[in-house]
Amino acid sequence: MRGITKVLAVVDTRKAQQLALERASQICRVTGAALHILAPNPKADSESMVRLEALAEPLMAQGQEVYLHETWHDSVIETIIHVRQMERCHLVVKDAKLITALQKAFSTPEDWSLLRRCRVPVLLVHDNSNWTSGKILAAINADPRDHYHSVLNQAILQYATDIAHVFSSQLHLATAYPTTMLAIQDHGDGLTDKDYYQKHCQEYARTFILNEDYFHIKPGPTETMIPALLTEIDAKLLILGTHARTGISAFAIGNTAEHLISEVKTDILVLQPKHHMIPLERELGK
């Protein structure tokens, strides 16, 4: 995966199973990245550090480069953001946290806050399914008239193709087109909105060398189409983008990524438009 040389895995040393750590370690093994393990803990002591060191020991015995962090800065999210910035990690990996309807109604769920604030991609881990030789689903908005989404699509597809290559995975691409009368509206050139989406996906196929047999161009909304498709193809990873809106705009418009992480039980890698340029800048700066 281009430009990723440091991965930050967020753990809770009290848990018996460390899904985020297992996934982060797997990514580090195939990419050669250094692994930073963070245990956000407001009551750290010698006992908790022993538990953290016990998590790292077998990884270091395998030859992995591992760094340990047990610290606290006001909250879990503040701690993750602080350590990520201090260590200049290029990917954050954490267990996906169950989000209840009550939490969504009266507060901002923890994972939503992380997606909105983190300046690097975030991988939310749901299970320990093997990505190798599995299926990956890249979800984009293929509206060719939306330049902002085009930038986001570039980030999604760059990461998706990199991951598919590294893990020998089968890459699927999905986009939802409008379900209203707009979807069948003729724009004066004999093409409908569905046709425009199809043509734009074909352009991405040429740019990123994608197999069009694995394209899924279906009527929306995205929030219902993607979960159904994940189940249909048995994808092990969903890659999608977010505008990371906050405040009134987030409340009024909503973020598709945030809706999906509440519904989907697959590993989810969430990107922002800026994540397309940051790896390129690191590559050019070498």
- In 1-134, the DSSP E strands lie at 6-10, 34-40, 66-71, 91-95, 122-125
Average pLDDT over every residue of 27-39 = 96
Choices 3.40.50.720, 3.40.50.620, 3.40.50.1470, 3.40.50.10490: CATH for 6-106: 3.40.50.620
Largest CA distance in the chain: 71
Average pLDDT over every residue of 217-230 = 91
Residues 6+ apart with CB under 8 A from 189: none
Q: Where in the chain is the domain with CATH 3.40.50.12370?
A: 135-284
The reported pLDDT for the residue numbered 99 is 61
Residues 6+ apart with CB under 8 A from 68: 36, 37, 39, 49, 52, 53, 56
Question: Does the domain at residues 135-284 carry the CATH identifier 3.40.50.2300?
Answer: no
- 58 Rama class: left (phi>0) / alpha (psi -120 to 50) / beta: alpha
Q: Where in the chain is the domain with CATH 3.40.50.620?
A: 6-106
What distance in Å separates the CA atoms of residue 88 and residue 175, rounded to the nearest whole number? 33
Write the burial class of residue 62 (CB in 10 Å: 0-12 exposed, 13-18 middle, 19+ buried): exposed
Average pLDDT over every residue of 199-228 = 94
**Considering the entire predicted model, what is its pTM?**
0.88
Average pLDDT over every residue of 138-151 = 85
Percent of the chain's residues with pLDDT above 90: 64
H helices then E strands: how many in the chain? 11, 10
